[in-house]
Structure 1
């Protein structure tokens, strides 16, 4: 117990303050790590989306309906190699067809970073 003439903090109060401060610092470090991982994934998806847009533009400019079988290739963008593939799909309307485009950084296409479907005449 303190007397009225004592000033300052007890050792227990200092330890409690340090524990609270340490918990706060750990929460900030964890949140920062999650944000960095999220930014990396977002960067990857943006680049893959650009590759998909490029392939869609080339398909559109080609003026020929793509095959229903996967056509694939690769492209370099953002210091990475991207693998893309696309195919056409029949729709219920004979004047329209769908085009699926998949982009990934995995040449085996085990998972797609971006998948796009569009309809064309």
Structure 2
């Protein structure tokens, strides 16, 4: 809600360029979707948006172009439609990045936690 108020104040002042610096850091997934939709609406109204984020999904969902900056240096500018998360991640960190995880299935016989003599006091509800 605070962000919406700030956006409205900025638009009221006649701004054509809005800068969002990590705007989703404390938002819920639903609030992130709403904010991205607001940004898209502003773009459709002719406003320009600079989105500073490291979240690849947000870049892919909200942006037309992306400029990768690493250690203060502009690395590359790309059209989002012509790239993917793997390429963006590699450009961001300067090496190939794997999003694959090596998850082993848990064995039902494998003991992972053992508790002895546990007591839990119940709170009384008013």
Q: TM-score, normalised by structure 1?
A: 0.23
Q: By percentage of residues, which structure has more strand?
A: 1
**Under a length normalisation based on structure 2, what TM-score does the superposition of the two structures give?**
0.22
Structure having the higher Rg: 1
Higher relative contact order (CA 8 A, sep 6+): 1
Structure 1 or 2: more helix by fraction:
1
